[in-house]
């Protein structure tokens, strides 16, 4: 396997029914999964009466969920050495995930509850 730079030839593109587009590129140089994404939803779309809503929502995404308290949620991520982030911008909302490939199913389980 060569570690070629990303190019149209080695990037897979999948468009879901809801319009979300996913770009993926395999790189087997390390047993790590890095997933980054961006949704076309940002603070510019907030009504003036709800300024800051997008930032608030992204901050709350890592504060726990229906089945995980704040501590349980963060322990589940930290116990496998993973990282998870969300951020809000003017035009988009971004997310990032990094974990060992063997821990990806566990991380997906936690994320599915968000």
CATH number of the structural domain spanning residue 68: 3.30.830.10
**48 located within any domain:** yes
Give the pLDDT of residue 90: 96
pLDDT confidence of residue 3: 65
Distance from the first to the final alpha carbon of the chain: 36
Q: Please determine, for residue 14, whether its predicted confidence score (pLDDT) is greater than 90.
A: no
Which neighbouring-strand residues pair with 14? 22
Q: Is the pLDDT of residue 4 over 80?
A: no
Phi, psi angle pair for 112, to nearest 5°: -60, -20
**Segment 44-103, tens digit of pLDDT:** 999 999 999 999 999 999 998 889 999 999 999 999 999 999 999 999 999 889 999 999
Q: Give the pLDDT score at 102.
A: 95
Q: How far apart are CA 30 and CA 44, in angstroms?
A: 38
Which structural domain range is residue 81 located in? 32-112
In a domain, 15, yes or no: no
Query: Is residue 13, in this structure, part of any structural domain at all?
Result: no
| Position with higher pLDDT, 77 vs 112 | 77
Q: Is residue 22 part of a domain?
A: no
| Number of domains making up the chain | 1
Q: How confident is the model over 38-43, as a mean pLDDT?
A: 89
Which residues are paired to 35 by β-bridges?
97
Asked, for residue 6, whether it belongs to a domain, the answer is no
Residue 8 lies in a domain: no
Do 86 and 67 form a contact (C-beta atoms < 8 A)? no
Q: Give this prediction's pTM.
A: 0.75
Q: Is residue 26 part of a domain?
A: no
Q: Is the pLDDT of residue 2 over 80?
A: no
22 vs 82: which has the higher pLDDT:
82
Place of tokens 């940002």: 42
- Is-contact 27 13, C-beta < 8 A? no
């Amino acid at each position: 396997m060569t570690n070629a730079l990303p190019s149209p030839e080695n990037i897979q593109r999948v468009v879901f029914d809801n319009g979300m587009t996913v770009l993926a590129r395999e790189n087997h140089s390390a047993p790590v999964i890095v997933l980054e994404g961006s949704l076309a939803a940002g603070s510019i779309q907030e009504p003036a009466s709800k300024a800051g809503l997008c930032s608030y929502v992204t901050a709350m995404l890592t504060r726990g969920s229906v089945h995980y308290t704040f501590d349980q949620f963060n322990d589940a991520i930290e116990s496998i050495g993973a990282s998870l982030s969300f951020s809000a911008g003017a035009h988009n909302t971004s997310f990032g995930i990094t974990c060992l490939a063997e821990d990806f199913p566990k991380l997906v389980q936690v994320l599915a509850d968000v």
